[in-house]
Structure 1
Amino acid sequence: MRLLRIVPDNTRFKIVRFRRFSYPFSAAYSLLVIALFLTVGLNFGIDFKGGTLIEMQAKSGKTEIATIRHTADGLGFGEAEVQEFGTAGDVSMRFAIQPGGEAAQQAVVARAREAFTADYEFRRVETVGPRVSGELVQAGTLGVVLAIVGVLIYLWFRFEMPLALGAIVGTLHDIVLTVGFFLITQLEFNLTSIAAILTIVGYSLNETVVVFDRTRELLRRYKTMPIEELLDLSVNSTLSRTAITSTTTVLSLLALVIFGGTAIEGFSLVMLVGVVVCTYSAMFISTPVLLYLDVRAGRPEHAAEEKLPAGAKPKAG
């Protein structure tokens, strides 16, 4: 039985030569990200700015999220975050921190009780002040930094130095481009966003390792093949796997964006952008970097070399 091949076995795209376009684009995008970060900044959510959290349970056991959101927005305290959680009938509301100190935060709770006490039972009321939100920023930043350091250490031991450096460049590139999405769209940055970034780091690592494993295998097999041709070969031989993985992931995330509701819309959008960025990075950023590194350093030259038949391609993995 013939296996399904989304990408034909004889595909020979000249991937590496596109670095003439991908590198200037990524460099310009990265400079834009730095400029926006220093001038505009991230649009921090209640988790990081502080605010009031109210958890309620519907007395009837059913919630109308659209109605709750409309009523909460009409209280005059800015746009509220409303979402279901836990069991049926449970709903949470988050209001941004209000100017005026503790009295202003208590006013938020009082107005919310007036608006919802007839149909909902208040289960939890909590105010997150600037100090607590600052601690969350520090903890979230530390978590991302530690995760990145862990990934970099793994890459350093997983590959030889040139391959490790290429993988590190790709991972950092993916993080910068993803943060750029937050800066350009001003999508709210909260604890869920931290989870999305960490997930993207893992996806980026997976994409890079697959391509670089094939690159390392081909370096052992074809010791006199020009590096640019060998890198093109490594990308093309994993292209079918990359296409299947990226397409299925994108389709799943599109379903979440369209049908998942506002509670996970931000996470889904970031993940969708992250998957596209990681796929682009593995092919057009990380792999071409190896052109400028001595990937054949320390490899024995006397070992027998396999010959690649004309027009043939290694078996895709």
Structure 2
Amino acid sequence: MRLLKLVPDDTNIKFLKWRVPFFVVSLILIAASWALVLTKGINYGVDFAGGQEVRLTFEQREEAPIPALREMVTSLGYGTPVVQEIGAPNSVSIRVPLPESGESEPGAATEIGNQVIEMIEAEYPNVARDGNNTVSGKVAGEFRQDAVLALIAAMLAVAIYIWIRFEWQFGVGGLFALFHDVSLTLGMFSLFQMEFSLQIIAAILAIIGYSLNDTIVVYDRIRENLKKYRKMDLTDLLDLSVNETLARTVMTSLTLLVALLPLLLFGPESLFGLVAAITLGLFVGTYSSVYMAAPLLIWMGVNSSSFVPQESAADLQEKKARGQV
């Protein structure tokens, strides 16, 4: 029985033929994304904007009814809450966004927490109150700062790794591809004003990991072909390398897409932002490996001698002494 092949072995698509227009479009999209972030802003969730935190323990239950709690608290009209398990399976933390009056009046914030508790106690009588506290804007600001530092550290670590494994040009290309992917993800959240929470930071880190994986596969094949085809034009060599890794890229992307699409279309609302970010990252990560990371190698002067060990003056002198030069 013949195996199913989504990509033929003799694929010869001229990807790099359109590198300039695609690169220009990418730069425009990056600029537009940051323009949206700076002008329209990002819709921060409770993690980054502050809010009221209620902590409860369901003493007569082994597990807290998290989906039901999320639906109940959402019905109060204060926005989408963050409901998560803390410590034991029957203990939860419920964080609710505060209206503008709640930020300026501590008593109003506590009252919102009391409303949440009273609604839950009416449905689940045997609930122990563990806390009703306000998450200040200062703490939320620290969360935002730490999240930004985590993303920058991840991207720099990736660039350094690629630099050490290949050449500095590859590190620059990989870093620029990651910057492209993160920028477009932030632009999507700003454009549609989707809630930006700690879940989305996790999604962006996953995007960085996927994009890095795809870029390294392409770069590794480029390095092999640079050693193998010393006289081939670099544009043709890059096309060859991308085509040789195309089957692996398509299969990986489709496998992830099969898992993501049901969650995106039929999954719970609380996971929509996370899944939407990873789905977008799947496409932009694959795109950037081909049209961002690869063309930059041409413009930064990578050639067939990039991975050939350079002979020292002593080696040349020894060859002359042996009459090999």
Partner of 1:223: 230
Q: Which residue of 1 aligns with 2:293?
A: 286
Aligned residue type for 1:110:
N
Q: CA deviation at 1:147?
A: 1.3
Residues 223-262 of structure 1 correspond to what in structure 2 (within 5 A)?
223-262=230-269
Where does the alignment leave 5 or more consecutive residues of structure 2 unmatched?
311-325
Equivalent positions of 1:152-191 (< 5 A) are 152-191=159-198
Q: How does 1:67-216 map to 2 (within 5 A)?
A: 68-69=69-70, 71-75=72-76, 78-81=78-81, 83=83, 85=85, 92-97=93-98, 98-120=102-124, 121-125=127-131, 126-216=133-223
Q: TM-score, normalised by structure 2?
A: 0.83
1:21: which partner in 2? 21
- Residue 234 of structure 1 aligns with an amino acid whose one-letter code is S
3-state SS in 2 of match to 1:207: helix
* Distance (Å, rounded) in 2 between the aligned partners of 1:73 and 1:211: 45
Paired position in structure 2 for 1:41: 41
Shift of 1:83: 4.2
- Which secondary structure state, in structure 1, belongs to the residue aligned with residue 180 of structure 2? helix
Task: Report the CA distance between 1:112 and its aligned residue.
Answer: 1.9
Structure 2 CA distance, aligned partners of 1:110 and 1:56?
A: 12
Per-residue CA deviations over 1:93-151 (Å, capped at 9, x if unaligned) read 32113243211111112222332212231443332111211111122122112112211
Give the partner amino acid of 1:210.
V
Aligned equivalents of 1:158 and 1:259: distance in 2?
Answer: 41
Cα deviations across residues 151-192 of structure 1 (Å, max 9, x unaligned)? 111111011122222222212211211221211121111111
Letter in 1 for 2:252: T
Instruction: Write the distance in 2 (CA, Å) between the matches of 1:299 and 1:44.
Output: 46
Distance 1:206 1:71 in 2: 41
Q: 1:71 Cα deviation (Å)? A: 4.4
Q: Comparing 48-57 with 129-138, which one deviates more in the overlay?
A: 48-57
Aligned length: 300
1:257-305 alpha-carbon deviations (Å, 9 max, x no partner): 2343123221111111111110111122211222212212545599xxx
SS of residue matched to 1:118: helix
1:178, 1:273 within 8 Å by CA — same for their partners in 2? yes
Q: Mark the structure with the bigger radius of gyration.
A: 2
Decide whether the 8 Å contact of 2:178 with 2:208 is kept in 1. yes
Please say which of residues 12-21 and 199-208 is displaced more in the overlay.
12-21
Q: Within 2, Cα distance between the matches of 1:264 and 1:217?
A: 41
1:209-242 Cα offsets, whole Å, 9 max, x none, are: 0001000101111111111111110000000000
CA contact 2:82–2:96 (8 Å) conserved in 1: no
Distance 1:90 1:298, change over 3 A: closer
CA contact (8 A) 1:223 1:301 kept: no
Does residue 263 (structure 1) correspond to residue 274 (structure 2)? The answer is no
CA shift at 1:202, angstroms?
1.0
3-state DSSP class of the match of 2:96?
A: strand
